[in-house]
Amino acid sequence: MLSSTEHALLRRIAHEQAACRAPSLVAAVVRDGEIVWSGGRGRVGEQQPGTDTQYRLGSITKTLVATAVMRLRDEGLLDLNDPLEKHVPGTPFGAATVAQLLSHTAGLTSESPGLWWERTPGADWDALVGSLAEGATKHRPGARFHYSNVGYGVLGELLARHRGKGWLSVLDEEILGPLGMNRTTPHPAGAHAEGFAVHPFADVLLPEPSPDAGAMAPAGQLWSTARDLGRWTAFLGGETGGVLDPETVAEMRTMVTVDDTDVWTTGFGLGLMLVRYQGRRFAGHTGSMPGFLAVTLVDPAAQTGALVLTNSTAGVGITQLCLDLITMTDELEPRLPAEWLPSPADPALLALTGLWHWGPTPYHLRLQGDGLLLAPVEGAGRSSRFRQTDKDTYVGLDGYYAGETLQVGRNTEGVATHLDLATFIFTRTPYDPAAPVPGGVEDWR
């Protein structure tokens, strides 16, 4: 990157580390699947932290657990609408679905009963589920967003039962290993930062414990480095390395529930936190454990992301810092649009393009990549992309018609006369009497 950009990014993290009194802080910017800038401030021991210094990820762990669950779904071993009882029988909250657990809408209690689980050694699954015998469900499943660390302890058990091995082994073999994230571990190994609480009224530190969380570990156990987390940031942006289909990651990034009211700024998909900022949508997750804060966010459209790791229990504005690093990068070094180049078009698809009408409302049908885009000629309206699934049959990919079927109707000569989209009829002229418009067509008068 330009030296001026690098200095601006470094100054931003230097200000955060100094103003918020973080013992140490490391950050990186990811573009097009690669770390393009990184910087560190403060000290880990006597050294400045770097991209190979481990910090605790906290709840970013959940994004890896969710990915492993989605792999089960893609293999046909479960359906997201399955009740938990089908896969982990015998719990008092078995009616909650897999999707609800992933999106924090299952209504489960936020924390496990007993001592503060993040600062005390955890017990096994039997002890956890036993502690949840009464009062585990705080809200009707599906009724509202309610963040639940317990829900991810449950998903860790689901993974173990399907794979016949612990959830950590599943992540190692199916995700971390294939992506080359060999410095992501359940406990610190090699160069790592110690977790601290910073006194609110004095410049002194209190060491924080980092015990094994047992059955609650899938909610926040992992440690990692900026280098490994940079690879994970790229994964969340769609550079999946064969671990998951990019379309499945896009599904995980789709909003399921909002975490605020009115004009939403934060929400959740399937295991991923979603943030709306300055007209852009970001996906990733934050993490918080005693002694540590972490965040990774990526804009899949721009393919720019960032990450921040620090060893402070509280007080560092990691989410805003992460967003600032992304927006500064894109403002100081805006990417050039890809060059437009002509590309061959299937004559049959080309014949479908142009003007169509839904009743009296004009729409344009355009070729876009390997699919079609149907959108109003003017103003806002129902717009969707479509992908061909069979001769003259297409499925909606997004917008109002996501998942709906578009069927091309033809006359006896094979000429396309109308589009049947979920019973809505589009014709070349408004209410074309030659097409099967529901209710029939009278003369214009």
Residue 4 one-letter amino acid: S
Q: Where residue 370 falls among pLDDT bands split at 50, 70, 90?
A: confident
Tell me the β-bridge partners of 368. Answer: 371
Pairing of strands 292-299, 280-289: antiparallel
Q: For the domain bounded by 3-332, which CATH number is listed?
A: 3.40.710.10
Q: How many residues does the chain have?
A: 445
Half-sphere exposure of 70 (CA within 13 A, CB side): 25
| Digit-coded pLDDT (tens) for 314-356 | 999 999 999 999 999 999 999 998 899 998 999 989 999 999 9
> In Å, how far are 20, 23, 64, 287, 412 from 309, measured between CA atoms?
14, 11, 17, 9, 65
373: nearest Cα among 386, 361, 363: 386
CA dist., res. 27 & res. 63, Å (int) = 19
**What does the mean pLDDT of the chain come to?**
95
374 against 369, higher pLDDT:
374
Reference 269, options 280, 288, 254, 258; nearest CA is 254
The encoded tokens of residue 80 equal: 């997201």
Share of the chain above pLDDT 90, in %: 91
The residue ranges of every structural domain in the chain are 3-332, 347-427
Q: Would you place residue 56 in the very low, low, confident or very high pLDDT band (cuts 50, 70, 90)?
A: very high
pLDDT digits (tens, 9 = 90+) for 33-47: 999 999 999 999 999
Residue-wise pLDDT for 383-418, tens only, equals 999 999 999 999 999 999 999 999 999 999 999 999
What is the average per-residue pLDDT within 145-155?
Answer: 97
Helix, strand, or coil (residue 362): strand
Bridge pairing between strands 196-198 and 205-207: antiparallel
Of the listed ranges 5-14, 67-76, 120-129, the least confidently predicted one is 120-129
Q: What is the pLDDT of residues 106-131, one digit of tens each?
A: 999 999 998 889 999 999 999 999 99
